[in-house]
Structure 1
Amino acid sequence: MEKLNKISQYLACVLIIHIVTCLAQNPVREHIYNRREHSLIKPFLTAGLSVPYWDYTGSVIFTQNYVRLTPDEQSMSGSIWNQIPCWNRNWEVVVDFKVAGKGKDLFGDGFVVWYARDRMITGPVFGSKDFFSGLAIIVDTYSNHNGPHNHQHPYISAMVNNGTLTYDHDRDGTHTQLAGCEARFRNVEHTTQLKIRYENDVLSVHTDLENKNEWKECFTVDGVELPTGYYFGASATTGDLSDNHLINSIKFFELEGATTAERSQIIPHAAKFEEPREHVDDPKPGWSNLKIFIVILFGMIGAVILSIGGYMYYEKYQQNKKKRFY
């Protein structure tokens, strides 16, 4: 009996060690995916061709595999907006996206992931309203960037607005951005992801652009105060330059922390912004090769017409001169 007890104790110790080892290798996830109403996942459309929990406007189309905000065409704009406000103070949103197009050197404009008070209002900020209230994670792909830069495009940045600030396209929003990072994701074959995390007034953005299931920090900013009760959304736009802007999924994760309504009345606020740069007007565009060709062509045609006219005038003048001698 004593020997049996020792064996039982040994087996119990082995089992405990095994459980501890498994927990160490596979820690409990820090977030729980249980808020379907804030997520946009396949299948997007119901049998009635409606999209559960989401509205859309503009050039948006839904397919079996993705949501296209804009096609690779000029002057297009589209947006999607969650119908239900988020009352969670702490949350995480993972956006699986793809940006691609025919342009090799020139492309744009970009898209935005929103957490904003007002929804479904079109405007000049990548397809949505200016002077917004809330948070914008701006994915700017405009290759012909405005003014002097110390970074390349595409570029990811964050902007917090209390409704009084304008997004200045002439400065690519650098006078109001909290932070940003370069991100090379355009025209890649694999999936690309953006993770936006807001926890205890700390905003962080990470990317997985190489399909390695590894998050790389883009930036982290503390002192960011966001109210509850705002809406998630995404919008994109094209101008003279264009791209396909595709959303494969938006997944919402509820982090630990109470669902709070008392923060619904606070005003969006950021403790600090990056140093603004001086405004520099874009240089006036030069003449394209086509314009130069057309000018030369019409110049040559004009010269030929003048030559013919001059010749005809000379011939007529000579004929009139001969008549005087008869």
Structure 2
Amino acid sequence: MAAGAGGLVAAAALLLALAGPRPVPAELTDGNSEHLKREHSLMKPYQGAGSAAMPLWDFQDSTMVTSQYVRLTPDERSRRGSIWNRVPCFLKDWELHVHFKIHGAGKKNLHGDGLALWYTQERLTSGPVFGSKDNFHGLAIFLDTYPNDEATERVFPYISAMVNNGSLSYDHSKDGRWTELAGCSADLRNQNHDTFLAVRYSRGRLTVMTDVEDKNEWKNCIDIAGVQLPTGYFFGASAGTGDLSDNHDIISMKLFQLMVEHPVEDESVDWTKIEPSVSLLKSPKDNVDDPTGNFRSGPLTGWKVFLLLLCALLGIIVCAVVGAVVFQKRQERNKRFY
């Protein structure tokens, strides 16, 4: 098909009004209002009409603003929509909580394409990757609802993460498998209850968690270390439809500052000049799908074969040396009895 492509609260009263009490794991922010960064947050009810309802946010294409949600795309074919924060974020450690809803008339696989959350250098640039541009700089979290690759064993909807320095292109025909860092399946579409996603970035660790099962608890989806993201980028959300469609709604986006200590040497780093990157022991291209929607290691690469052979050779040498020493000791012990 054609691919067009939070703290849930500011205060306890608002929490009760929107979703009721929500237990939060220790690794996630407790939602204290003093850590909520309102200049990067979007919360209902949106007062006024159109852009006046969201003075710190811009939207484009098919995006429609109501008093209760922002609809990025209607349940219609070939639509794109996005919403972007106007204020660059200079926090080194942050956590984004998103209250969203993906729904429509389509059943089984007759819906698409999905929704994306962004922390990127570019903003308000319409494109083919869930409504936004390809070859971006920064981080993207994709909530993909349609399997373009018929050979995949993944279970959709599928959530994945991608970090890009502008050199990578998202391959819709393979559902972004070659550039994916990690991912998980999540039954997040056409739910009658609220659905949430949390994205945490702290000291180079990227964590994505979901609450889509109406259990009022977070479930781990993605956890990756070695992620480098600069400051000064923009938060946004986008969605796209192709031959199939869905309503893609953002109900709230809430950003929280994490109070984290950094090493002294970090004080000399210009965080705005860091290039988006990930330090992995294996390339995302080495990932192979398994039926659970998770990943296992793929075929051995040249480096992996070399390291295995080196380890094996060192093991043989160590065994040979130990064996020679043991043999010599036994010979000396036997000589004493003659």
Query: CA shift at 1:59, angstroms?
Result: 0.6
Aligned to 1:130: 134
Are 2:36 and 2:254, in contact at CA under 8 Å, matched by a contact in 1? no
Give the Å deviation of 1:204: 0.5
Alignment correspondent of 1:57: 60
- In structure 2, distance between residues paired with 1:241 and 1:232: 27
2:122 is equivalent to residue 118 of structure 1: yes
Separation of aligned partners in 1, 2:120 and 2:242: 24
Aligned with residue 43 of structure 1, among 13, 35, 45? 45
The 1-side partners of 2:113 and 2:53 are apart by 28
**1:85 paired residue number:** 88
RMSD over aligned Cα atoms: 2.2
Matched, 1:274 2:278: no
CA distance in 2, matches of 1:108, 1:166: 20
Tell me, yes or no, if the aligned pair for 2:179 and 2:284 is still in contact at 8 Å.
yes
In structure 2, distance between residues paired with 1:152 and 1:145? 12
What is the one-letter code of the residue matched to 1:121? T
* 2:183 is the counterpart of 1:180: yes
- The one-letter code of the counterpart of 2:271 is R
The 5 Å alignment of 1:140-155 reads: 140-142=144-146, 144-155=147-158
Q: Distance in 2 between matches of 1:219 and 1:56?
A: 28
| Counterpart Cα distance in 2 of 1:277 and 1:91 | 28
2:249 is the counterpart of 1:241: no
The answer to which of 266-275 and 65-74 deviates more is 266-275
Per the TM alignment, residue 276 of structure 1 is displaced from its structure 2 partner at its CA by 4.5
| TM-score of the superposed pair, with normalisation by structure 1 | 0.73
CA distance in 2, matches of 1:131, 1:82: 20
After TM superposition, the structure 1 = structure 2 runs for residues 213-228 of structure 1, keeping only pairs within 5 Å, are 213-228=216-231
The amino acid of 1:127's aligned partner reads G
Amino acid at match of 2:171: D
What residue identity is the alignment partner of 1:117? Q
Structure 2 stretches of 5 or more lacking a match? 1-24, 289-338
1:195 corresponding residue in structure 2? 198
Contact kept, 8 Å, 1:174 with 1:276, in 2: the verdict is no
1:265 aligns with 2:273: yes
For the pair shown, the structure with the greater C-alpha radius of gyration is 1
Matches within 5 A, 1:281-300: none
What does residue 297 of structure 1 align with? none
Identity %: 50
1:51 deviates by 1.2
Gaps of 5+ in 1: 1-25, 279-326
Matching residue within 56, 65, 70 for 1:67: 70
Instruction: Give me the whole-angstrom Cα distance separating, in 2, the residues matched to 1:138 and 1:79.
Output: 14
CA distance in 1, matches of 2:185, 2:68: 27
What is the rounded CA distance, in whole Å, between the counterparts of 1:92 and 1:217 in structure 2?
Answer: 14
Shift of 1:147: 4.3
SS of the residue corresponding to residue 210 of structure 1 reads coil
2:111 corresponding residue in structure 1 = 107
Q: CA deviation at 1:50?
A: 3.9
**Contact residue 88 and residue 258 of structure 1 kept, 8 A:** no
Matched residue type, 1:122: S
Give me the whole-angstrom Cα distance separating, in 1, the residues matched to 2:261 and 2:236: 23
SS state of the match for residue 178, structure 2? coil
Secondary structure at the aligned position of 1:145 is classed as: coil
1:204 is aligned to 207
Cα deviation code 1:246-299 (max 9, x no counterpart):
011001100014798821001000112433479xxxxxxxxxxxxxxxxxxxxx
- Name 1:283's counterpart in structure 2: none
Assess, with a 3 A threshold, how the Cα gap between structure 1 residues 120 and 258 changes in structure 2: closer, same or farther: farther
SS at match of 1:85: coil
33-42 vs 114-123, which deviates more? 33-42
Residues 127 and 266 (structure 1), Cα distance of their counterparts in 2 relative to 1, 3 Å cut: same
Instruction: Give the deviation of 1:184 after TM superposition.
Output: 0.3
Which secondary structure state, in structure 2, belongs to the residue aligned with residue 64 of structure 1?
coil
* CA offsets 1:88-129 (integer angstroms, 9 cap, x no match): 000000000000110112110001000000100011111111
Aligned length: 252
8 Å CA contact retained: 2:148, 2:172: no
Secondary structure at the counterpart of residue 175 of structure 1: helix
- Conserved? CA contact 2:31–2:256, under 8 Å: no
Distance 1:232 1:249, change over 3 A: same
CA distance in 2, matches of 1:204, 1:92: 9
Q: 2 CA distance for matches of 1:40 and 1:244?
A: 19
